[in-house]
Chain A
Amino acid sequence: MVLQTGGIDYTSLLYALSFLFVPVYIILGPRLQVYMALNDIGRGLSRLKLMKDKARKETIDYVTTTGKTVGDPSPRIDQFLDYVTIMPVDIDPNGIVGKIDHVVTVRDERVRTEVGDLVSDKNPVTVSVSENLLEVAGALNNIHKVVRHYYLLGKKTNSYFMLLQLQMIMPQIVQEADALLNAVDTFKLAQPVGDGIGPVIASRYMYGRDKQVVAKDTVMSISEYKGRKLYVMKAEGPMAYVGQPGVGIKHIIDDMGVKPSAIIMIDAALKLEGEKTGEIAEGVGAAIGGIGVEKYQIEEVASGHKIPIYAILVKQSILEAISAMRKEIAEASDKVMTILGRVIEEKTKEGDNVVIAGIGNTLGVAQ
């Protein structure tokens, strides 16, 4: 159809004009996308800010009410949130694990003594929970700071690709931050977390038996299972400790002279999307997360003495690992006990020694 008024061919005119959109879009398109990315990231950023402020406030609340701090703890806590740990140089990696261990130990010691000074309530659970809350608030503070850095840098330099990358990972960052914030409530109530499934299992073998300290915050009991002698260890609960299982296992083998025919580690493991919470996986190798120091120590002593390491893992998401233990995870404990019994029977003989380590944060799980 041809529209004609006063001799002007509108259709042709519109057609010609439509070609103008191409250069306009080429010039303005990226700007529009930058604008949209900035908007998107800005929204996420303000959520992150809310989260980090909430974690800070909850930490201050806990330290004041439960920890019974004298005076205003906020300046002290703000100082903690920006606490930096400088990792050792890695251009000459020989012996770096020892150095990392040293730095991390010094940091942990310092945090604990300072938190101990800060809270008047000397109950170890309160002190350990305060430590963990500070850790969470510090992590959220850091996440916010880093995201803000790239947001502002992208804005300043108008760098579309920097902003695009940030925009892409933003949902995951917010999700992780959400998990951290969730952990705050669980920690404040001193409830066992999903990561505590290893300690729950170890605790069943340890209850009512003599405990001895085998490493910092780590205890061990000797028990019996179908003719095998079990050296069962976990972090000392019900404090929010993870202990030093690497040092503990080394102590049992090197200092106490125990010759185990197997080391069995029980830990929480991150599930993949689509996997069920509370699913159990078996395997070999040192089942322990963290910075890698403990894992290294366990592998060193195990390979040095040619001791096989078996792993029993309970699957969960990051969110589930640091918030109150889900029913599915708790109910996996009976199945883990059965599997553990089977592994002991299959892999060792009567009269053997077996080291069993329940790995994870032992908050709300005593022994």
Chain B
Amino acid sequence: MATTSVATDKKTKFTVFTIEECPACGQKTKRPFQTGDYITKDGAKCAKCGNQTRISLIYAEATKPA
């Protein structure tokens, strides 16, 4: 019946990513989410200028239907 909409929703798989942003040069790095990540947490050193990055966003992105 009307459960089809739920079923189609289920086919889309989501992967959660963490965005690390460098406050100095604005460089953004996207990597898969790791347990313990939260927004404003310190990330890795900036690949471009070596500054301390910060997690600016964590979001789920649809990957190809499984």
Q: Which residues of A contact B (CB under 8 A)?
A: 40, 171-172, 174-175, 178, 189-192, 200, 203, 207, 237-238, 319, 323-327, 329-331, 333, 364-367
User: Smallest distance from the beta carbon of A272 to chain B beta carbons, Å?
Assistant: 14
B47 at the interface (CB under 8 A from A): no
Task: For B5, give the chain A residue with the smallest CB separation.
Answer: A175
Please encode chain B, from 32 to 66, with 1 for each CB lying within 8 Å of some chain A CB and 0 for all others.
01011111110000000000001001111110000
What 1/0 mask marks residues of chain B from 1 to 36 whose CB sits below 8 Å from any chain A CB? 111011001000010100000000000000001011
A175 touches which of B6, B14, B39, B59 (Cβ 8 Å):
B6
Choice from A40, A237, A319, A325 contacting B9 with Cβ under 8 Å: A319
Residues of B within 8 A of A238 (CB): 38-39, 41
**Which chain B residues have a beta carbon within 8 Å of chain A's beta carbons?**
1-3, 5-6, 9, 14, 16, 33, 35-41, 54, 57-62
- Among A40, A172, A191, A365, the residue within 8 A (CB) of B33 is A191
Choose among B1, B14, B41 the residue that contacts A40 (Cβ–Cβ < 8 A): B1
Report how far A365 CA is from B57 CA in the complex, Å: 9
**Chain B residue contacts of A175, Cβ below 8 A:** 3, 5-6
Are B3 and A174 within 8 A (Cβ)? yes
- 14 intermolecular pairs with C-beta atoms under 8 Å apart: A171-B1, A175-B5, A178-B6, A191-B60, A192-B38, A192-B39, A237-B40, A238-B39, A323-B60, A326-B14, A326-B61, A329-B59, A330-B59, A366-B41
Contact B59 A364 (CB under 8 A): no
Given contacts A175-B5, A324-B59, A326-B59, A189 and B40 within 8 Å (CB-CB): no
Known: A189-B33, A191-B37, A331-B59. 7 other contacts (CB 8 A): A189-B35, A191-B33, A192-B59, A200-B57, A203-B40, A327-B60, A366-B40
